[in-house]
């Protein structure tokens, strides 16, 4: 079934919750409140990212259609934001995987471009499949907010596909990214490659992407999203 963000965050949140409960009479009040805040934020995010709520809770982190995350959200939910950015910072320094990969002419997939140096060449149009990371560029941009380990819903996939085809029709390169360029971005890119005629099915598209970027993967939620998109598309043809 693969990893689930909800379970990961909930498990991590148990430790500060334990400190808050067991050591509340021994720790200074500010430290107890800090541990309590960390655990509460973690459990809120864990609940929001369950299968029942993930499709409706992407606004929890405050990300706008332009890709910005408001300052108040960074302050209120700082434990999640700090934990996430720290994880990305560490992984980028130990990973041997290229940050982005060219799949076919004008089509790129990869991780979050935290600065221009992480961007593919050619001033690409960007599809951002994250709800937790801010946009830090001025490129033509579309946000498809989706939690990590989940897949965009059918309408989001279709919106992304249409937008990508429009950009390619204008001969602009496109870059589809999530946090690492493995799951959420793969869902949208595979659908777009099918719609663009570069593959006959999303399974074929996935194989093409995986050949060039071996660490891409689709969990059962992401495969379900692609299957539902393909079924909807076949009914409309």
Question: For residue range 117-164, what is the model confidence (pLDDT) as tens digits?
Answer: 999 999 999 999 999 999 999 999 999 999 999 999 999 999 999 999
Q: Which residues pair with 109 in a beta bridge?
A: 101, 176
CATH 3.40.50.300 fits 99-235, yes or no: no
Q: What is the pLDDT of residue 1?
A: 43
- pLDDT category, 236, cuts 50, 70, 90? confident
pLDDT for the residue 171? 96
Give the pLDDT band (50/70/90) at residue 3. low
Q: What is the pLDDT of residues 65-91, one digit of tens each?
A: 999 999 999 999 999 999 999 999 999
The conformation of residue 213, written as its DSSP 8-state character, comes to S
For residues 101-116, average pLDDT: 97
* Burial class of residue 117, CB neighbours in 10 A (0-12, 13-18, 19+): exposed
What are the structural domain ranges in the chain?
A: 5-92, 99-235
Nearest to 221 by CA among 128, 148, 156: 148
């Amino acid at each position: 079934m693969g990893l689930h963000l909800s379970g990961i965050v909930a498990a991590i949140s148990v430790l500060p919750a334990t400190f808050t409960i067991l050591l509340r009479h021994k720790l200074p009040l500010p430290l107890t409140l800090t541990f309590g805040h960390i655990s509460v934020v973690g459990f809120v995010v864990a609940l929001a990212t369950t299968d029942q709520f993930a499709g409706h809770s992407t606004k929890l982190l405050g990300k706008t259609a332009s890709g910005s995350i408001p300052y108040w959200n960074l302050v209120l939910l700082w434990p999640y934001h700090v934990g996430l950015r720290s994880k990305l910072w560490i992984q980028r320094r130990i990973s041997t995987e290229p940050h982005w990969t060219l799949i076919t002419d004008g089509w790129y997939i990869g991780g979050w471009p935290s600065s221009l140096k992480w961007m593919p060449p050619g001033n690409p149009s960007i599809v951002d499949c994250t709800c937790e990371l801010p946009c830090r560029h001025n490129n033509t941009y579309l946000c498809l907010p989706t939690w990590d380990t989940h897949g965009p819903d059918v309408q989001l996939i279709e919106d992304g596909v249409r937008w990508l085809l429009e950009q390619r029709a204008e001969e602009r390169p496109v870059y589809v990214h999530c946090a690492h360029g493995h799951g959420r971005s793969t869902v949208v890119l595979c659908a777009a490659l099918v719609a663009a005629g570069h593959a006959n099915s999303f399974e074929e598209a996935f194989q093409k992407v995986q050949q060039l970027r071996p660490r891409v993967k689709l969990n059962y939620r992401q495969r379900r999203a692609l299957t539902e998109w393909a079924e909807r598309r076949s009914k409309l043809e």
